[in-house]
A and B are shown apart, each in its own frame.
Chain A
């Protein structure tokens, strides 16, 4: 006989359905809600154990954030106020128009319930969405009790466990998100209005565009432009080196110069002459030692995006969408994670076992269980919220779309590789001294492929085998000569590299990087060009004229300032990101951080206004003068 009524709310309809499925054991009633075709209420009984016991449950969901932050009406139009006023203008939070029905559903359900259990994703955004849900529920029923389920995948046992070990909502994380939302709104709107109003009149091409500013977008654009200019400005130079070749046992061994190459021809000529004068080379090192190629670390979001866009030929945003779909369907664990170490408690062998039915890697999985299994390497990151991305169950390929299949396969192969032995080989290195110079030759013999058998994305192959050389032996090399070459420019930035740069420079979170990249494409600050063709084609990011103009313009605006805090550089955003973490850690309050960050950006804003002509000049240069020529 069910006792209390409980309301459960997930972040997305699919999660609500998956959780309802597991908690109810498959028998639940589905009730549509008025005003929204996607959100449903699922009604069933479930025993939460402990003080709750068997409850009558209504499981429903939101669709992402319920509320939005905006300026009050008198500040909303473009010319309503000077853009600088947006740093202080009053803002208010309200339920987004298209979410009203969902909010109402929560209020109504809460009225009849004793408790609210929040099932949003366990990350910062999820925590904030949780507080939005709580607010609506309290409006319906001020005395409702609130708990939160902690889960990182939708596998049945995991979900049941989460339901029986409820925790509290983390308001610190929610506050960090609230701070970020307010800062993004104010800073974004102020700069967007300023630059759009100022730059629009300069060119007909800008007539109908909004030149948006975002504190992540701009540094992201900055990386693309920086690389583009490095390629454009590059000056090739000639270098010279010494090549030594020796024939032995019908093998031509090429020895590489320790100095690789130098940029002074006369010096290299003298060095070569001294080699030749010495006549004989002496073997100074012969080493043969076991070597290994390490299996990969457990998979994080950044790695999934980087490797995915490199090996699966999909852009990072698509990969994340597909991965989220796989998570929602319960096939893989939560795909937004910074953790690259598996918790000791997780039963990895059981997860490996689930892959046995597969036609491609099933046999490999069996081999792991038959003794090949190795505990995965542990990386240095742990976000304390989610495990590394791993498969939850086996899925028949026929149940997946083409893209899903690719991402799922990558996640599984990566996981199996993590649980495998490193690849083993034998490396041979021979070093010789010839005159005053040192040269070396290396050989590799792969002995055991191990993880490489399943992780088809890594390459490690045996090289040419070296003939025998004795330590201390003297010999006259068959040939020694000078070679020359030219330095080449770096390549234009690719998406995986950009993600790596954003990560290394602290721009965005692993969860939002793909969105920022998509944003600068959508704004037409960068375009995607293909280099090469067919399977070897590489997609490169090239800034548009507007993109270059904005970065160069802002760099000029800040040129000569101490610390030159240009908006195209990552520092300002990085500092903001650090402060978000401080809120999460309870070291600072939301108000403190918002005030400090606004002060920092306000100063930058005032300076930009004062030197706006620099920005205009750059736009004229690229959009008017160059467009005409």
Chain B
């Protein structure tokens, strides 16, 4: 006989590659009054998924299967390349746009602070004087809009269920990965990912974005973002070797 526990667990494992921790699942079910009221299992599974995406993977997933975890020495820069078959569920701890200078990211944040991202309040700050208008194929490498999505590529800090962290580089544009679009605590699954010199090379083929976020962490990250950028700018000024 299959219990609701095992049915939910199996479903999440097969459809989302998420190995839910039995402890977490039990407490989810016991806290959920829904069970007594005979809510359909599918609805219950959806709720469980939703909660998992909003949870910390370190609490909600099991660490029993080593193939769904990052190798402990993943950061090792002496390893030229290795492949991780996975699937490995991870959560995003940090995201940054390495295609854009820190300073222009600060300027973009300040434009939003000054209310210039609101429609009708935008200020045009650069114009092309007698420029290349009319030349076919002239690349319009203009500023990106104030609050718009970041350019990328992005550098992510990812964390698995056991708490191991890894750096991910968006080698090929992955939909849904952008500053202000991918919240902190968002979940993704890595399949057959390549790791080079300790960096996970992210491509649409190996990344499935599940969504979700960890509210408190995301909020703190957003609030501290400008200060962190500024700190890093002053850091690179003197700290260069």
Contact = CB atoms under 8 A, between A and B. Distances in A.
Contact of B155 (A227, A267, A427, A490): A267
A458 B121 CA distance: 34
A235 B127 contact: no
B65 interface: no
B206 to A, nearest CB: 12
Given A500-B129, A505-B123, A564-B114, A273 B80 contact: yes
Nearest to B124: A504
A237 B102 contact: yes
Interface in A290-325: 291-296, 306-307, 310-311
B106 to A, nearest CB: 8
A307 B130 contact: yes
Interface string A255-286: 00001001110110111011001000000000
Given A270-B169, A270-B196, A262 B129 contact: no
Q: Is the interface of B mostly helix, strand, loop or mixed?
A: loop
Interface bin, chain B: 35 or more
A293 B135 contact: yes
Given A267-B199, A307-B130, A427-B137, A262 B125 contact: no
B99 A294 contact: no
Interface string B116-141: 00101101111111100111110000
Contacts of A487: 101, 103
A21 to B, nearest CB: 37
A505 B116 CA distance: 13
B2 to A, nearest CB: 45
A52 interface: no
Contacts of B115: 563-564
B4 to A, nearest CB: 45
Given A263-B101, A563-B115, A296 B237 contact: no
B15 interface: no
A230 interface: yes
Interface in A223-245: 226-227, 230, 234-235, 237-239
Nearest to A489: B103
B221 to A, nearest CB: 19
A230 B103 CA distance: 10
Contact of A267 (B121, B169, B237): B169
Given A259-B153, A270-B196, A496-B129, A239 B80 contact: no
Given A237-B233, A436-B172, A270 B197 contact: yes
A496 B126 CA distance: 11
B236 interface: yes
Contacts of B128: 500
B98 A292 contact: no
Nearest to B203: A436
A391 B83 CA distance: 71
Contacts of A427: 136-137
B72 interface: no
B134 A293 contact: yes
Interface string A481-493: 0000001001000
A306 B130 contact: yes
Contact of B199 (A227, A259, A266, A422): A266
A267 B103 contact: no
B171 interface: yes
Given A306-B130, A460-B135, A235 B125 contact: no
B103 A235 contact: yes
B153 A262 contact: yes
Nearest to B115: A564
A570 B116 CA distance: 11
A497 interface: yes
A501 B134 CA distance: 20
Given A238-B236, A292-B136, A263 B125 contact: no
Given A273-B80, A427-B137, A571-B120, A226 B125 contact: yes
Contact of A269 (B197, B236, B240): B197
Contacts of A460: 135
Contact of A237 (B124, B171, B236): B236
Nearest to A458: B130
B42 interface: no
B100 interface: yes
A114 B197 CA distance: 94
Interface string B169-206: 10110000000000000000000000011010100000
A13 to B, nearest CB: 35
Interface in A493-508: 494, 496-497, 500-501, 503-505
Given A235-B103, A274-B196, A563-B115, A294 B98 contact: no
Contacts of A501: 124-125, 127
B73 interface: no
Contacts of A569: 121, 123
B130 to A, nearest CB: 5
B107 interface: yes
A112 B129 CA distance: 54
Interface in A530-564: 563-564
A270 B129 contact: no
B237 A235 contact: yes
A491 to B, nearest CB: 11
B102 A263 contact: yes
Q: Pick from A262, A460, A569 the residue with the most CB of B within 10 Å.
A: A262
Nearest to B236: A237
A291 B124 contact: no
B171 A234 contact: no
Contacts of B136: 291-293, 427
Interface in A387-438: 422, 427, 436
Contact of A436 (B102, B125, B171, B233): B171
Contacts of B236: 237-238
A469 interface: no
Contacts of A274: 196
A475 interface: no
B137 A263 contact: no
B114 A263 contact: no
Nearest to A262: B98
A457 interface: yes
A494 B129 CA distance: 10
A487 B100 CA distance: 10
Given A496-B129, A501-B124, A563-B115, A294 B134 contact: yes
Interface of A: 226-227, 230, 234-235, 237-239, 259, 262-264, 266-267, 269-271, 273-274, 277, 291-296, 306-307, 310-311, 422, 427, 436, 457, 460, 487, 490, 494, 496-497, 500-501, 503-505, 563-564, 569-571
